[in-house]
Structure 1
């Protein structure tokens, strides 16, 4: 059985004079027009691949937005290639700081309308991804932010710890998990990190905070102790994050995650269902990315994607 080849990319977009434009690349060797993408490096997550490949192919630094689909097709050697795509809004600052120059892989970059891209792209699989993005444009929900619900990494078991539960440390595996999820979480370029005050939660987000240059905001309102004694207040924490409309990582405990997902749904007018339970049923070090509209958060949850730690 042949192993599939995995890749990732993004529909890069920006608004120019009131029109949504998408970025296509003219590849040098293949002589085709396509959406930026590339193969996963060993040990790399798909979101990290998308960000890295866009940087390498276009010189643009991006933050991922909502997922827009997965394409698959057969390669000449008989292997299947599976490509995951996200939307990625390109800021004016990213345009100004682009490092792109024509090279042996990419001859040129071109910003075109969605209409032109439909006939311009060389492959039907790219057009299908473009159509998924176009549906978001038509619905007015292209500009998004994410609330990322993260379960703390693997901690020492209560039976092996003599101190207060809130001070239980991460195990060696947990420390590896905390370091291993940084690149994936950073793909959405979070602006805030909010965590339970428990040591295992704070330690989990510390590598991310260092990598992104962010302050860690600790709160008892989503701690396991407050959950146990009835003094917790997930609603206040989530309401603040929804109002802020900025991508945030919220690190908490297994029992609190269902409440976090439920409160995100309630704060955005989203119908609750079993999908929320699925998104909250995370192993240690895993997280669910909940995508919301920046322009109108009350339009509800647009998408949820879940990622597991590599360690």
Structure 2
């Protein structure tokens, strides 16, 4: 991120009504315009967290983020550049029923419209471009997706400073902060299943997320560094189960193991392997990559992959 730019995030919120696609647009009070829901990043937030929060604040609808659908860039009246990241986001019937939206000083109304009408009535070309990006995925048969998140554990005490078993190495103070910082963005992607290497540094990394979700941490030696070093790791079994389940999940593991996990994910989904796998697996501590798969046909390949890192 650059210091001079203003960063924001939002989404193309969608639902199916009697089999027909509808997208959500907002009518802003002060500007008398029609836009996609979005808003500025709060201090310490990661972009995905911002997108889910802003969609909820502007529409009253809690969503889980789907695939990234583009980035808009434009100059504001003060000459600063504004950079807005967008994701697709399904509004479930339950989320819509629970919405308590009422018109306010910021948002005059929210409206569900067909794609053609939305393209016609959006006030800004940058929003039209984002919606067109989303509709290209729809035309390719990709609408409902689920994420498999590959997470590298947070910062741990270095081996040379630890006298006990390697698997027992704890997180540092920075690592503890990272483990808290990733809770919001992982929740934004709808993660519900937590699988972790049985090493302390991995389990501790996902413990705050587990507490926030009220879910257990499923520990496994199959993606541990100890097993990997002994040639006994089995990422294929872990990944195969997750792809078949079609449920949003996070896998917390170690730097040396991540390339194998991403390779197995590509194999399990029929995805051509390429340099993107190396980028997605070369994670700093506390960072994660999100692989989006089709809910209806997960064997059709990784639809999109993105990488995020905490700001601590």
Aligned length: 311
Q: Which whole-Å CA distance do the structure 2 matches of 1:156 and 1:129 have between them? A: 43
Q: In structure 2, the residue corresponding to 1:67 is in which secondary structure? A: strand
Match of 1:286 in 2: 287
Q: Which whole-Å CA distance do the structure 2 matches of 1:239 and 1:180 have between them? A: 29
Aligned pairs for 1:166-181 (under 5 A) are 166-181=167-182
Q: Which whole-Å CA distance do the structure 2 matches of 1:9 and 1:215 have between them? A: 30
1:295 aligns with 2:296: yes
* TM score, norm. by length of structure 1: 0.98
Q: Which whole-Å CA distance do the structure 2 matches of 1:76 and 1:163 have between them? A: 58
Match of 1:50 in 2: 51
Q: Which whole-Å CA distance do the structure 1 matches of 2:111 and 2:310 have between them? A: 36
* TM score, norm. by length of structure 2: 0.98
Aligned pairs for 1:34-49 (under 5 A) are 34-49=35-50
Q: Which whole-Å CA distance do the structure 2 matches of 1:128 and 1:299 have between them? A: 26
Q: Deviations over 1:93-143 (max 9, x none)?
A: 001000100001111111001111110111110000000110111111110
Query: Residue 2 of structure 1: CA displacement?
Result: 7.3
- Ranges in structure 1 where 5+ consecutive residues have no aligned partner: none
Query: Residue 3 of structure 1: CA displacement?
Result: 1.0
Match of 2:183 in 1: 182
Query: Residue 307 of structure 1: CA displacement?
Result: 0.6
Query: Residue 173 of structure 1: CA displacement?
Result: 1.0
Match of 1:124 in 2: 125
Do the aligned residues in 2 keep the contact of 1:154 with 1:284 (CA within 8 Å)? yes
Match of 1:233 in 2: 234
Q: Which whole-Å CA distance do the structure 2 matches of 1:151 and 1:20 have between them? A: 37
Do the aligned residues in 1 keep the contact of 2:149 with 2:249 (CA within 8 Å)? yes
Q: Deviations over 1:59-84 (max 9, x none)?
A: 01111110000001111111111100
Do the aligned residues in 1 keep the contact of 2:46 with 2:310 (CA within 8 Å)? no
Aligned pairs for 1:73-152 (under 5 A) are 73-152=74-153
Query: Residue 41 of structure 1: CA displacement?
Result: 1.2
Query: Residue 161 of structure 1: CA displacement?
Result: 1.1
